Amino acid sequence: MRQEYPHAVGYRVVVLPDPVEETTEAGIVLPETVTKMGKAATTKGTLLQKGPMVEHGVKEIPIGARIAYAKYAGKFVDNPEDENNPFVIMNDEDVISELKEDNHE
């Protein structure tokens, strides 16, 4: 089944942020307030969609690329396939760079 993304309009882009760890390396489960703050502060993710008026160098970044973006950028939108990892819709100017990395650290 193909995943449905929110529709990006104007200068907006849709990003799937990297998931936030919900437990520590020692196995301690983090409270929801901590994981929500971590989601808001995430600065890396996957570019899923670009609006038709995207500029600022984002035009050249391919869909599916890993990107870095401004801390606290955009608006969270529910992800029906993963309620713990919502989409973020943000302005193209909040995209800082395309990441050329092999892992999702």
Beta bridge partners of 47: 15
pLDDT in tens, 1-46: 456 778 899 999 999 998 777 776 787 776 666 666 655 666 899 9
Burial pattern 41-78, b for ≥16 Cβ within 10 A else e, equals ebebbbbbbbbeebeeebeebeeeebbebeeebbeeee
Q: Domain count for the chain, please give it.
A: 1
3 occurs within a structural domain: no
Q: Determine, yes or no, domain membership for 51.
A: yes
The CATH number of whichever domain residue 83 belongs to comes to 2.30.33.40
Task: Tell me whether residue 84 is in a domain.
Answer: yes
Domain that holds residue 73: 12-98
Residue 7 counted as domain residue: no
**In-domain check, residue 74:** yes
Query: What amino acid occupies position 60?
Result: E
Cα distances (angstroms) measured from residue 13 to each of 23, 35, 56, 101, 105? 30, 23, 12, 21, 22
Residue 104 lies in a domain: no
Structure confidence by residue, pLDDT tens digits, 68-86: 999 888 999 998 888 878 8
Q: Residue 69: CA atoms inside 13 Å, Cβ hemisphere, count?
A: 33
Domain membership of residue 39 (yes or no) is yes
Q: What is the pLDDT of residues 84-98, one digit of tens each?
A: 788 999 999 999 999
